[in-house]
Amino acid sequence: MARTVRGMKAGAVGDEFDRAAASYDRLVAANPGYHRHLRVSARRLGLPRGGEGLRILDLGCGTGASTAALAHAYPRAEIIGVDASEGMLARARAKGWGPGVRFVHARAEDLTAGGLGGPSDAVFAAYLLRNCPDPDAALAAVSGLLKPGGRIALHEYSVADSAAARVVWSLVCWGVVIPLGRVATGRSALYRYLWRSVLEFDGAARLRRRMREAGLENVRTLALTGWQRGIVHTFLGAVPAPSGSR
């Protein structure tokens, strides 16, 4: 049976991201605070020394906006951008990157630490988990990519706990996002999916429970500012470190 993600077949979601890749950067640039918020969430990983000697996975990297946020915060790190959409990755790869940045075409759930050259020190996942057919399996897989003590930051929509946030989200989607997406791409399926998937996704409390159930500790939510306050959040956690190493 075909897997579905928030009412759309998983394969169809990937196809729509491929079709939208050429115009995606223009659309997100029209979102006030989009890139600034990614940089804020990236910094909240709190990695030392500009990331020197550390490996960071950027899961669901898309066209590279989140990769750029990580490279800005941690210019000395090895950064691996991963995405299931080859169309989005093609756009990401075409941008200018330093020698420490590379990209991998894969689903987050299919990655292994060995296949990436070893376990990572941190994972950054922007708008990823909501697009996974099984969020619990995805979180478990992501946790398995980290070293003991490794850190994770999810930069994610969550409006289920707030009626006001749901109203603002719907107004913005139907007043701005869906019409702009249709003009830019000639299609609206991806943007209607975006609207619906955010409404149907976890509230912040439920997502924190998922993270804890995946074995993460020190789980917490931090707010972002601007019109997306209460809509987009940073969810932080860490893989437990060996006893006595703290």
Q: What is the pLDDT of residue 36?
A: 95
In whole angstroms, give the CA distance from residue 202 to residue 212.
Answer: 14
Structure tokens given for 38: 């990614």
pLDDT band at 66 (very low <50, low <70, confident <90, very high): very high
pLDDT band at 235 (very low <50, low <70, confident <90, very high): very high
Q: What is the pLDDT of residue 164?
A: 96
Domains and CATH numbers, the chain: 4-238 (3.40.50.150)
Residue 2 above 70 pLDDT? no
- Phi-psi region at 127: left, alpha or beta (left = phi > 0; alpha = psi -120 to 50): left
Structure tokens given for 221: 């939510």
Who has greater pLDDT, 244 or 76? 76
**Rounded to two decimals, what is the model's pTM?**
0.91
Residue 1 above 70 pLDDT? no
CB atoms closer than 10 angstroms to residue 51: 22
pLDDT tens profile 98-133: 999 999 999 988 999 999 999 999 999 999 999 898
Mean pLDDT of the chain: 91
- Best-predicted range by mean pLDDT among 25-29, 40-44, 129-133? 40-44
Got the DSSP string for 43-58?
A: HTT--SGGGTT-EEEE
pLDDT tens profile 175-208: 998 998 888 888 888 889 999 999 999 999 999 9
Q: Which long-range contacts (C-beta less than 8 Å, at least 24 apart) are formed by 22-28?
A: 22/87, 22/91, 22/185, 23/184, 23/185, 24/62, 24/63, 24/88, 24/91, 25/63, 25/65, 25/91, 26/184, 27/177, 27/180, 27/181, 27/184, 28/65
Closest CA to 14 of 60, 55, 45: 60
In whole angstroms, give the CA distance from residue 246 to residue 241.
Answer: 7
Who has greater pLDDT, 73 or 17? 73
Residue 13 above 90 pLDDT? no
